[in-house]
């Protein structure tokens, strides 16, 4: 970010306080790290680019900050829970995520939410729209359902491409993801639910029955149809039309019919 006021705005709207430990993904040269460290109790900045790490260390030192820990590693190769340490308070995760790792980070967050209270990320507009999309929308997909199953999602800021250097081709949006203590509708086997969601969207142009039958769930079309109908869903619907609640019902039906779980 070339405009310091943008980083200040994001930190201010994130509601980070001195009791928080913030895990920052991809801090770069510290545009967000510095204002974060002035507000949070502790910042763990995870940076994969080893050429950037010494520059970031110098930036932190130049601002006289002692509450920043810089970790030289790939965020996709570590368990997010390890950054919580002994703190009873859950992590706050923040960052400007590259498009190519965004989905993987979000899936990891969902699986690690026992150690994460919320996440504030800057995304390209296209991905931000996917997170808040409603059933029936083209943007609605696997990540939409997984996050909406367990979190409340809102937009807290729009960021124009002109506020970055070098300037990207698209605008960005800052999304606030707040994990609920308990999903509104609880799946009896959450991991199986996520497998069903992935399978359903694996061939999203097909009907739900055919998508599931052609997936890695190892069920045939007949069993898929029985489970779908048992969940009260029309088998010729497509995955993108199902609500979160319907996906939970579908997963429960598939477990009963196929003996999964």
pLDDT bin (cut points 50, 70, 90) of residue 5 is confident
Whether the predicted pLDDT of 261 surpasses 60:
no
CATH 3.40.50.150 residue ranges of the chain are 4-179
Fold for 190-258, please state it: Helicase, Ruva Protein; domain 3 (1.10.8)
pLDDT band at 260 (very low <50, low <70, confident <90, very high): low
CB 240 within 8 Å of CB 211: no
Range scoring the smallest mean pLDDT among 65-69, 115-119, 193-197, 201-205: 201-205
Q: How many Å apart are CA 79 and CA 105, to the nearest integer?
A: 11
**pLDDT beyond 70 at 259:** no
**pLDDT tens string 78-96:** 999 999 988 889 999 999 9
Residue 171 has pLDDT above 90, yes or no: no
Task: Specify whether the CB–CB gap between 240 and 176 falls below 8 A.
Answer: no
Given a contact cutoff of 8 angstroms between Cβ atoms, the answer to whether 124 and 96 are in contact is no
Residues 41 and 21: beta-carbon distance below 8 Å: yes
β-bridge pairing 68-72 and 42-47: parallel
Determine what percent of the chain falls in helix, strand and coil, rounding each to the nearest 5. 45, 20, 40
- pTM of this prediction? 0.91
% residues pLDDT > 70 (the chain): 97
Q: Which residues contact 58 (CB under 8 A, 6 or more apart)?
A: none
Contact 141, 186 (CB under 8 A): no
Superfamily for domain range 4-179: Vaccinia Virus protein VP39 (3.40.50.150)
Confidence of residue 204 (pLDDT cuts 50, 70, 90): confident
Residue ranges of the chain that CATH labels 1.10.8.100: 190-258
The whole-number pLDDT of residue 159 equals: 85
Q: How confident is the model at residue 2 (pLDDT cuts 50, 70, 90)?
A: low
Strand order in the sheet with 172-179: 68-72, 42-47, 21-25, 91-96, 116-124, 172-179, 151-159
């Amino acid at each position: 970010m070339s405009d310091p006021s943008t980083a200040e705005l994001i930190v201010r709207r994130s509601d980070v306080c001195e009791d928080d430990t913030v895990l920052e993904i991809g801090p770069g040269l510290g545009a967000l790290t510095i204002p974060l460290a002035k507000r949070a109790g502790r910042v763990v900045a995870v940076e994969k680019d080893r050429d950037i790490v010494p520059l970031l260390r110098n930036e932190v030192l130049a601002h006289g900050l002692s509450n920043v820990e810089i970790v030289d590693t790939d965020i996709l190769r570590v368990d997010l829970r390890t950054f919580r340490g002994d703190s009873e308070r859950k992590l706050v995760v923040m960052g400007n995520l590259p498009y190519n790792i965004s989905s993987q980070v979000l899936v990891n967050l969902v699986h690690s939410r026992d150690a994460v209270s919320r996440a504030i990320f800057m995304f390209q507009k296209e991905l931000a729209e996917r997170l808040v999309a409603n059933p029936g929308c083209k943007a609605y997909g696997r990540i939409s359902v997984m996050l909406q199953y367990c979190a409340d999602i809102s937009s807290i800021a729009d960021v124009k491409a002109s506020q970055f250097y070098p300037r990207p081709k698209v605008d960005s949006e800052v999304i606030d993801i707040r994990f609920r203590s308990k999903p509104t509708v609880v799946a009896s086997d959450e991991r199986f639910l996520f497998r069903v969601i992935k399978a359903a969207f694996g061939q999203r142009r097909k009907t739900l029955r055919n998508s599931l039958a052609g997936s890695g769930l190892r069920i045939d079309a007949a069993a898929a149809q029985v489970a779908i109908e048992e969940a009260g869903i029309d088998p010729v619907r497509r995955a993108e039309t199902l609500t979160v609640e319907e996906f939970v019902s579908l997963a429960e039906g598939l477990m009963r019919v196929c003996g999964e779980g």
